[in-house]
Amino acid sequence: MSTPFLPFGLPDIGEDEIAEVVDTLRSGWITTGPKARRFEQDFAAFLGDASLQAIAVNSATAGLHLALEALGVGPGDEVITTTHTFTATAEVVRYLGADVKLVDIDAATLNIDPVAVEAVIGARTKAIVPVHYGGLAADMPRLLATAARHGLKVVEDAAHALPTTLGGALVGTLASDAAVFSFYANKTITTGEGGMLVTRDAALAERARVMRLHGMSRDAFDRFVAKVPSWYYEIVAPGFKYNLTDIAAALGIHQLKKARAFQQRRAAIAARYDAAFAALPLVLPPRPAAGDTHAWHLYAVRLADEAVARGLTRERFIERLFEQGVGASVHYIPLHLQPYWRDRYALEPAMFPASQRAYERIASLPIYTRMSEADVERVVGAVRAALG
């Protein structure tokens, strides 16, 4: 029998999560209710900052949309973000009728380039959305200083960044207006689909909660568990359907308890890869500063000049991995190459040289907690063979 295919990623769901979901199903309350509130409270406690509020949503995309809407982004405004991201980071800006200004990345970190951000700030600029690529924190001190000088809002796309730290502080506790985490199936912790918006801004939190559920002044849990009749509600804005269900939150409650252990396992796999690949013609992912934590959502390698000079393409590299039964992916096809963004803003690869070069050479390798030591060694062997 041939060796089973090793996928790029798998969630790590245990018996505690399963039991909590079953309890939810038996409780009769399966939409947003007590489990979602508990998850929000637990998440805020995990971040360890009593001034923060956490708002559970059905995706990080929803969280980014809610945060920017609450900050007043709208037609005529412009929001700066990186081209080297998934489209969700930028598309929420267009939901609001505002425009996106894409900028290049730092070639070493693959995070948004603060110098490029500074260069494109103009009269229409309203906010910056940095992405913590792969789980490595962006240069937030510099970005926050730039935002403060120009009176701009900052919403962190922290989809990859649990539990990333910067200067010893967890992402989510920095001085931005809001941070948004993802609990998609391949993230450090998962609720299947889901996300969390965190903020210190009470007005932003209140607006996000209202807009999360149709612009309704009171959610269903408030209305249906009261001891006196409380059916009355008001629609105060044309909101959205972005609430997280208790079924999903039940997963999150126990996944969150494992977040640090999950990160440590990912970090151990990354360290093994670093050691195994050190002498190979690859550019390895950057490490965080001493004392800080990388979430290791991604382990993205880039073909070095030596490999490219021998005629190896990124496409062939990934094909060779698949031929050996090892999955891989690409993070990301930059937005400047995607038809909608390219055509709307007349973008060309030459405008984003660092992102373009990274894209042409990058591949993400499997890194997830369900990998055994044998799985890790299998990836190591497949990479060596793929490089010839």
Q: Over the Cα atoms of the chain, what is R_g?
A: 21
d(CA 83, CA 100): 10
Residue pointed to by tokens 């038809």? 339
d(CA 35, CA 244): 10
Q: Is the peptide bond before 163 cis (omega within 30 degrees of 0)?
A: yes
Q: Are 312 and 320 in contact (CB under 8 A)?
A: no
Q: How many CB atoms lie within 10 A of CB 123?
A: 6
Contacts of 207 (CB under 8 A, 6+ apart): 66, 69, 70
Q: Are 104 and 355 in contact (CB under 8 A)?
A: yes
Burial of 352 (0-12, 13-18, 19+ CB in 10 A): buried
Which residue among the candidates 101, 126, 153, 187 is catalytic per the annotation? 187
Q: Are 262 and 11 in contact (CB under 8 A)?
A: no
Helix (H, G, I), strand (E, B) or coil at 102: strand
- Phi, psi of 105, deg, nearest 5: -105, 165
Whether 187 is catalytic = yes
> How many alpha carbons lie under 13 Å from residue 203 in its C-beta half-sphere?
6
Catalytic center residues: 187
